[in-house]
Structure 1
């Protein structure tokens, strides 16, 4: 049997015959034939398959293994909320329910392969069901956060030309307020116990459907998901990913950052509108047959999170830096985690002092991952790797990551430049396909043989990367180039500071100076602010290079953020420079 045919029959992938090989100290769970096959693809000796569908080629294979009794009794999906409700699905149950949803979308809503559906749901089981169902039907999913406003929804509906939308009764009025301006929108589905005029009840619709559905044949290059970028600069852009870029990529990347097994469970606290949820709470765990754990978390409550880690056998925790900054504010000695062994942080750099506090109180390291909507994970601190404070690890498999200058020349270790990924002569599988309807932006993302991330950083002699800041976040003061993250990291060490953002501010002598916007801890709210400013400035001078200290400090109640929780430094900077 030819290797390519073996690849298309991915059932072989989960022959749980251990090899006498390890990856970062952990045993492989792939058969020798499959390992040889993927090695040949990674080395360019074998082509990737022409056709691939994550639902049929991954999830349904795990269902078969499950029915054959060759997978641990771990659920595939485990959801809870604070009211005591609970949902558990096996891979077989996930397949049964998602086929019913696929029939509802195609037969009742008239959606076909290539049609686009906007999915705006909080962390509820239906989000996962709809994702799988859309893959079965070849429908392109467009995730969105539940914090979107009516204006945001209008922009997404019009830009994407979506024919359908699924959301909750909470957002249904916002959709109705703009629907008349969206002439391509044909069906509206509401996840709710009630009803609303002009809307189909999602639960009733799919429960009445047959579970007999044949998964559509999709090319590995067919569009699967469109993410709207966070919009830190300009209007959000549509970033399209294919069946291969998110679904097939983890098959070739081994166990490079999650390193889970079918008996383990992962909890990702990211919002459902963010690519990290798709990667860390959908594709990558399910490739390895692991259980995805979800708490609906309507609000990010540190006590709820810590108690959940104590009550449930969660092996891996993934969250934004804000999560860990919040958790270390608690007395962690009061909590005994049931099973937690592996913690990961992504979305933006994590302050080294937070990592140290977490380690000292829990005994656990935090492994950083770095990526973008366009590329997925670019760098990570693999399990078993040496952790260097302030570093986001090494390049992920499949990616040749370099630091380049403005002429696309590779810079030597230690020299600051742009973080870039080699994209020519062959575009890596994990890449987005394009910025939809924006060929100019797509072209601008390439420089020479590289895709440029727009982030600045350095790489050391061992191949570890360090993030410095966005290109447009760099502060140049008296000829010195200052990245805001280092100043923010210094400030966050001070007990008065809960959160901070650093931007440039105009100065007649130096051109620009560092300005810090600071959210104070409640215990410092009545402090002598002038004295506190001096104290913060002195602290930064002692913690980092003196020229980086904030010459201006402004105390604010909160920082402006995108819907994904990233700080809008550009908004603060524009106000400083009188642009808005």
Structure 2
């Protein structure tokens, strides 16, 4: 029986409704807190303690925090840094800052001092809210950030002020300001592949722009009737990252549902236990996480009782091995999604309304006009690689609310992001005849070897299908004859790593390298197999779960220079 395909009809029938005045905090908290069931309606569940925060309590605490920030001189448009993990106070801080008309600046608690110093200086943040996970690094750079007037400590953090101590003196009453939909709401720094990070200023309306993609990728999240079987969301994505904030925390709250917060280090066992214990119905899991879960628990239903209704994945290509695992073992076809901080949630799948194709980025979500374009801004024919780009206007000619306002204090970079009305992503893809996009890699990840154009993701996906491999990254290795060789860095699955450690490692390596090379040769083009494979304990990753191929590429270039010098 043919699967239903409503994609074209959904696009034709969808139209944006963006009010002139809109505030994320009011939409995600204020309107739910005003309902009769606000004290019973759960907003956040803390996985560690099992404690819950209702929408009424979230609003009450946000009002108190807004009063404190007002006392500290925070004005409309001021940047307030939020440097905390998935905890109640993080969500409270976002609501408090946004309902003041100030700009929330999420910073990962994984950032070291240098990363924090650059962002705090560039943004001229006036207040930082930190807990024990980040306070030491903030204290280390405080003196170099003259605009940072006050550091507020949460929990065990020792700072200028203690939130808990201040809270006792604060009345939980505050009159939220009215903001325009076009006003700046969030300043998120992107981890650019070249040059220093750029601050993308996201307006309040961008949340509205996110909603079609969120609803589609989560198989109609929020349209569950709102009864006892209400949706429960969880993602390990840090709430300081676009994926954790705009794709998890805020849209879950927008629909008045519960999201689980968890600070523990990710592991496959923890993930499955959390999914089971908290009755999670909808989730966003990185391909890296899904690969680890697949290798650790190939038949999870034998140990865990899951209630999953939707899995969204983004950041890297899922690949058909993980796709099949989700479909066959977790009982949910994964919906891959593509977007970036500046224009988030624009392409993806929705298995209940159009067929998801393993390895495809999906199709443009309703409300977004997306194309693959060449250097001049012309749309590429089907099958021809180009830059994924989003038009400022949807298929009906109406403005798309998904767009960022621009790069912070960097109008030149903002201008370079556009070709006419097309906003370029810097990600390469091809489009097939049915409108599905197929990821080819970052423009700076694709390379040529012996004259052939090599996209790393296809080779990486092939390697991960081998039972001995849990993750892989493919980069060019400089070569005087061919320009570059295909090199793979491979992370071994736990069982294979134990075999290697307990025996003759050199012999193990030689045999497995030959196996993996043959494995790729059998499945891909002859020129794509890795001529060299290096086993590595862990791949370099961004805080958002993406493999940093650039780090490995630079390592290879440095080794080549050193070898040339030695010769």
TM-score in terms of structure 2 length = 0.89
Aligned to 2:195: 234
2:371 paired with 1:402? yes
Verify: 1:94 aligned to 2:58, yes or no: yes
**Cα contact 2:210–2:345 (8 A) shared by 1:** no
CA contact (8 A) 1:250 1:287 kept: no
- Contact 1:52-1:219 at 8 Å conserved across structures: yes
Q: Does 1:301 align with 2:267?
A: yes
The reply to whether residue 160 of structure 1 matches residue 123 of structure 2 is yes
1:349-498 superposed matches below 5 A: 349-384=317-352, 385-423=354-392, 428-498=400-470
- Deviation of 1:253 (Å): 6.5
Contact 2:210 2:246 in 1 (8 A): no
Aligned to 1:365, what secondary structure does the other structure show?
coil
Q: Distance in 2 between matches of 1:537 and 1:363?
A: 32
C-alpha displacement of 1:349: 1.3
Distance 1:115 1:336, change over 3 A: same
Q: Does 1:119 align with 2:82?
A: yes
1:343 to 302, 311, 316: 311
Distance in 1 (alpha carbons) for counterparts of 2:360 and 2:278? 31
Report if aligned partners of 1:475, 1:513 keep a CA contact under 8 Å in 2. Answer: no
* Alignment correspondent of 2:294: 328
Deviations for 1:552-575, whole angstroms, at most 9, x for unmatched residues? 222222222222222111121122
Residue 498 of structure 2, aligned match among 519, 523, 531:
523
- Distance between the aligned counterparts of 1:572 and 1:413, measured in 2? 32
CA contact (8 A) 2:212 2:365 kept: no
Q: Distance in 2 between matches of 1:135 and 1:207?
A: 22
Correspondence for 1:222 among 171, 183, 196 = 183
Gaps of 5+ in 1: 1-21, 29-37
Compute the displacement of 1:90 (Å): 2.4
1:146 corresponds, among 92, 104, 109, to: 109
How far apart are residue 223 of structure 1 and its match? Answer: 0.8
Query: What's the offset of the Cα at 1:111?
Result: 0.8
Distance apart, 1:430 and its partner CA? 0.7
The DSSP-based 3-state class of the residue aligned with 1:397 is: coil
Equivalent of residue 32 in structure 2, options 55, 62, 74? 62
1:256 partnered with 2:225: no
TM-score norm. by structure 1 comes to: 0.87
CA offset digits 1:225-274 (Å, max 9, x no partner): 0111124332111111011112x324677933332233211112101221
Q: Distance in 2 between matches of 1:333 and 1:80?
A: 21
What is the alpha-carbon distance in structure 1 between the residues aligned to residue 27 and residue 537 of structure 2?
49
Counterpart of 1:555 (choices 517, 535, 538) is: 535
Alignment match, 1:572: 552
Contact 1:233 1:570 (8 Å CA) reproduced:
no
Give the aligned partner of residue 259 of structure 2.
292
Structure 2 match to 1:136: 99
Counterpart position of 1:11 = none
1:186 pairs, out of 149, 152, 157, with: 149
Kept in 1, the 8 Å contact 2:200–2:405? The answer is: yes
Contact 1:478 1:511 survives alignment (8 Å): yes
Q: 1:23 to 1:106 in 2, by over 3 A?
A: farther
Cα offset, 1:163, TM superposition: 0.6
Note the residue ranges of structure 2 that are not aligned, 5 or more in a row: 563-567
- With 128-137 and 311-320 compared, the bigger mean Cα shift is at 311-320
1:525-555, Cα deviation, whole Å (9 max, x unpaired): 2353222222111111112112111112222
State the Cα distance separating 1:404 from its structure 2 match.
0.9
Aligned residue pair count:
533
The alpha-carbon distance between structure 1 residues 41 and 466, as it changes in their structure 2 partners (threshold 3 A), is closer
Aligned to 2:565: none
CA deviations on 1:128-172 (whole Å, 9 max, x unpaired) are: 000001111112111111111111111111111111111123422
Distance 2:343 2:168 in 1: 36
SS in 1 for 2:128: strand
2:247 counterpart (257, 280, 290) = 280
Equivalents in 1 of 2:39, 2:162: separation in Å? 35
1:499 maps onto 2:479 in alignment: no
Q: In structure 2, do the counterparts of structure 1 residues 23 and 128 end up closer, same or farther at CA, with 3 Å as the change threshold?
A: farther
Shift of 1:104: 1.2
Cα–Cα, structure 1 residues 147 and 40, in superposed 2: closer, same or farther, change >3 Å?
Answer: closer
SS in structure 2 opposite 1:317? Answer: strand
Within 1, Cα distance between the matches of 2:404 and 2:167?
Answer: 31
CA contact (8 A) 2:27 2:254 kept: no
Q: Deviations over 1:281-335 (max 9, x none)?
A: 22222222222122222x1121121112222221111111111111112231333
Question: Is the contact between residue 455 and residue 470 of structure 1 (CA under 8 Å) also seen in structure 2?
Answer: yes
Distance 1:200 1:393, change over 3 A: same
Secondary structure class of the residue paired with 2:307 = coil
Q: Secondary structure at the match of 2:444?
A: helix
CA separation in 2, counterparts of 1:251 and 1:404?
25
Could you tell me whether the CA contact under 8 Å between 2:234 and 2:283 is conserved in 1?
A: yes
Aligned equivalent of 1:532: 512
Structure 1 residues 562 and 254: alpha-carbon distance in aligned structure 2, compared to 1, 3 A threshold: closer
